[in-house]
């Protein structure tokens, strides 16, 4: 447990130190400091706070509700055609840089799109579509493993009692989901709260301004680091409040969960209504998620493919992106492993607050914008070293830590359950840490480990926020290359680059899940 506390403190320091260093910098530089009171009194500011929370709340509720239906359908249809491919595709939206996602969504819902919404797209509608596009697939991926934890006896009992679909949901599935939904919802809430380019561009104008925009603004044209820090802290407070509400709502299952996923959900009776609606949910979600991605690929096919793909730069950028992604994922897994084990141990020893605090420390990094953390670190480090020599290391570190919130959702519940079942066994066998990992932990946890690695690696590959801070032309990643093309009129070339980025991420996602997760990783 000690190691978990140390990691937690490190994570908190990692957030606090850049904020403090930014705060320090502002005293020397900004001439007109706006006070907190002044900010509170401005209607603009209050509207920004309200709108940030409101759109994040709506996006979260919508994404989670749809995702539950879809994930439920997936678990009932293990042999659905192209199931594995669809679930791999569901890993993609998180990789897509915001600009590209906006263009993809406009290809589908824009004036000349396949499902034209006209100008109604710009406003809350556009924001919700984009956030659902990003978060429904993520939530589905995170929710599916929960069904595996339902003990087989439950399904057998349900079958004997001839539970209706609603009764299955109420008595079996909901209690199992209650542990995970709040933390997944929190993650999605944070993602939407900090959403920026999507909200601004699809939001239709300054009416749709989030706190993140305000932070960006105060660090750029206005150059008021104090204000940026205050806004970042406010964002943090909002998230902590939501986190607190989430833990209230969260309830651990009363029964011993089951990790030997021989459970057979199919032994329960499926009503006719279910048999018809389940595939429809999957088809609807797949069409919704895949259509903007498909639009991107079609744009790419119409674009100058040969010109872009024969350019050596794209391959160099790919190699560099893959390197960052893989190292960040390894780092993230490494830290998460100790943190989650410590948290699970605390939970078993009946210290729920300590256990939850550890998880929270790994989650909140997400809320502080990378621009703030990066800039803060930059000021701090530039006092001691040549920051540019350390750019790659810092990029990997921030990306790795940004991945923690995802791993906490994928691996966290599994580790906790695993520990409850096998702690005594491995102690009695007298294994050392490595033997234990090799013979007990890894074989049973490889599925969630595979998913975690795949998620974090692809997210790091899609990162633009952190890498753009350091900006050495030698360290160009794929998203940066894409952005440079977009910024120099080369929009067709950018489309090809975007599709290539997606293809690479898809391969990586599939490969990591397969290699680490083992044969039946998709279930």
Residue 54 touches other proteins, criterion: CB under 8 A: no
By CB under 8 A, what part of segment 329-348 binds other proteins? 330
Question: Which helix (H) or strand (E) covers residue 489, if one does?
Answer: none
Q: Name the minimum Å distance from CB 114 to other proteins.
A: 12
How far apart are the two ends of the chain, measured CA to CA in Å? 32
Structure tokens at 411: 């691996």
Place of tokens 């990790």: 259
The residue among 8 and 458 lying less far from other proteins, judged by its C-beta, is 458
For other proteins, the closer CB: 57 or 223: 223
Pick from 292, 282, 326, 316: which is nearest to 455 by CA?
326
Inter-CA distances, 79 with 279, 350, 448, 523, Å? 11, 40, 20, 10
DSSP state of 414: H
Closest distance to other proteins from the beta carbon of 163 (Å): 39
Candidate segments 171-179, 246-254, 280-288, 510-518, binder of other proteins by CB under 8 A: 510-518
The least CB distance from residue 223 to other proteins, in Å, is 5
Q: How far is the CB of 229 from other proteins (least distance, A)?
A: 13
Indicate the helix (H) or strand (E) that contains 496. Answer: helix 491-517
Instruction: Reduce the DSSP state of residue 262 to 3 states and report it.
Output: coil
Of the candidates 483, 500, 509, 510, which one interacts with other proteins according to CB under 8 A? Answer: 483
Task: Compare residues 106 and 293 and give the one whose CB is closer to other proteins.
Answer: 106
Instruction: Tell me how far, at minimum, the Cβ of 359 lies from other proteins, in Å.
Output: 25
- The CA distance from 174 to 39, in Å, is 43
Select 102 or 398, whichever has its Cβ closest to other proteins.
102
- Count of positions on this chain that bind other proteins (CB under 8 A): 77
x-or-dash pattern for other proteins, window 248-287, by CB under 8 A? Answer: ----------------------------------------
Give the Cα separation of 42 and 215 in Å (integer): 16
> Is-contact 448 411, C-beta < 8 A?
yes
Q: ∠ CA 520-522-523 to the nearest 5 degrees?
A: 80
Q: How many residues does the chain have?
A: 523
Of 189, 312, 321, 180, the residue nearest 242 (C-alpha): 189
Using the minimum distance from each CB to other proteins, give the nearer residue, 81 or 312: 312
Q: CB 483 → other proteins: shortest distance, Å? A: 7
In angstroms, give the least distance from the CB of 328 to other proteins.
10
Residues 422-451 that bind other proteins (CB under 8 A): 438, 442, 446
- Among positions 202-241, residues that touch other proteins (CB under 8 A) are 202-207, 209, 213, 216-217, 219-223, 225
Are 226 and 33 in contact by the 8 Å Cβ rule? The answer is yes
DSSP three-state, residue 93? coil
Coil/strand/helix, residue 112? coil
Task: Please report how close the Cβ of residue 86 comes to other proteins at its closest, in angstroms.
Answer: 24
- 85 vs 487, beta carbon nearer other proteins: 487
Q: Within 17-36, which residues bind other proteins (CB under 8 A)?
A: 25, 28-29
Task: Provide the 8-state DSSP code for 462.
Answer: T
Question: Does 491 sit near other proteins (CB under 8 A)?
Answer: yes
> What is the torsional sign of CA 121, 126, 130, 132?
negative
> C-beta of 96: minimal distance to other proteins in Å?
14
Q: Per CB under 8 A, does 375 bind other proteins?
A: yes
Kindly state the smallest distance separating residue 514's Cβ from other proteins, in Å: 9
Using the rule CB under 8 A, which residue among 388, 421, 423, 436 binds other proteins? 388
Nearer to other proteins, 102 or 504 (CB): 102
Residues 59-118 that bind other proteins (CB under 8 A): 99, 102-103, 106-107, 110-112
User: Are 355 and 347 a contacting pair, CB within 8 Å?
Assistant: yes
Q: Which of residues 184-203 bind other proteins (CB under 8 A)?
A: 196-197, 200-203
> In the complex, what is the shortest distance from the CB of residue 20 to other proteins, in angstroms, rounded to a whole number?
14
d(CA 373, CA 271): 52
Q: Which is nearer to other proteins, 82 or 442 (CB)?
A: 442
Residue reference for tokens 């978990």? 4
Residue from 268, 396, 411, 415 in contact with other proteins (CB under 8 A): 396
For other proteins, which stretch binds (CB under 8 A), given 147-155, 178-186, 392-400, 420-428? Answer: 392-400
Write out the binding residues for other proteins, residues 141-180 only, by CB under 8 A.
none
Residues 114-143 that bind other proteins (CB under 8 A): 119, 122
Residue 73: partners with Cβ closer than 8 Å, 6 or more residues away:
277, 278, 279, 281, 282
Residue from the set 326, 440, 459, 466 that interacts with other proteins by CB under 8 A: 326
Among 65, 197, 85, 73, residue whose Cα is nearest residue 130: 197
d(CA 485, CA 112): 23
Count of Cβ atoms closer than 10 Å to residue 520 Cβ: 10
């Amino acid at each position: 447990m000690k190691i978990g506390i140390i990691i937690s403190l490190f994570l908190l320091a990692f957030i606090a130190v850049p904020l403090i260093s930014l705060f320090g910098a502002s005293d020397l530089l900004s001439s007109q400091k706006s006070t907190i009171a002044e900010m509170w009194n401005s209607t603009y500011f209050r509207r920004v706070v309200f709108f940030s929370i409101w759109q994040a709340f709506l996006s979260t509720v919508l994404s989670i509700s749809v995702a539950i239906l879809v994930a439920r359908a997936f678990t009932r249809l293990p042999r659905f055609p192209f199931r594995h491919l669809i679930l791999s595709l569901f890993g993609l939206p998180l990789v897509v840089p915001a600009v590209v996602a906006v263009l993809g969504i406009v290809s589908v819902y824009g004036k000349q799109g396949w499902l034209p919404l006209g100008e109604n797209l710009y406003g809350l509608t556009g924001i919700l579509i984009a956030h659902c596009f990003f978060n429904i697939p993520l939530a589905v991926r995170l929710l599916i493993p929960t069904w595996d934890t339902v003990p087989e006896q439950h399904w057998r009992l349900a079958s004997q009692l001839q539970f209706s679909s609603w009764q299955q949901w109420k008595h079996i599935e909901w209690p199992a989901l209650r542990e995970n939904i709040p933390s997944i919802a929190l993650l999605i809430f944070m993602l939407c709260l900090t959403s920026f380019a999507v909200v601004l561009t699809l939001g239709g104008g300054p009416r749709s301004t989030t706190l993140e925009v305000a932070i960006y603004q105060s660090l750029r044209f206005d150059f008021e680091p104090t204000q940026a820090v205050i806004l970042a802290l406010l964002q943090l407070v909002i998230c902590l409040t939501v986190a607190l509400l989430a833990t209230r709502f969260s309830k651990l299952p009363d029964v011993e969960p089951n990790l030997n996923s021989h459970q057979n959900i199919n032994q329960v009776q499926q009503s006719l209504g279910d048999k018809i609606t389940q595939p429809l949910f999957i088809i609807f979600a797949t069409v919704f998620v895949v259509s903007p991605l498909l639009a991107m690929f079609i744009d790419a096919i119409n674009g100058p493919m040969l010109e872009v793909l024969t350019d050596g730069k794209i391959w160099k950028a790919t190699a560099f992106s893959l390197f960052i992604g893989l190292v960040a994922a390894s780092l993230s897994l490494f830290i998460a492993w100790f943190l989650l084990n410590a948290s699970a141990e605390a939970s078993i020893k009946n210290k729920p607050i300590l256990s939850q605090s550890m998880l929270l420390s790994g989650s909140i990094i997400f809320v502080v914008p990378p621009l703030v953390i990066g800039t803060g670190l930059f000021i701090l480090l530039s006092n001691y070293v040549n920051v540019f020599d350390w750019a790659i290391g810092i990029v990997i570190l921030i990306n790795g830590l940004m991945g923690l919130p995802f791993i906490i959702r994928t691996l966290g519940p599994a580790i906790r359950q695993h520990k409850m079942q096998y702690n005594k066994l491995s102690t009695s066998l007298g294994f050392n840490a490595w033997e234990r990992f090799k013979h007990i932990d890894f074989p049973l946890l490889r599925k969630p480990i595979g998913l975690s690695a795949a998620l974090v690696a692809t997210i790091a590959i899609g990162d633009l926020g952190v890498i753009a801070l350091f900006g050495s032309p030698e360290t160009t990643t794929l998203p940066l290359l894409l952005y440079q093309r977009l910024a120099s009129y080369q929009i067709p070339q950018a489309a090809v680059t975007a599709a290539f980025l997606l293809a690479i991420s898809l391969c990586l996602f599939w490969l990591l899940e397969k290699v680490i997760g083992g044969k039946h990783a998709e279930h």
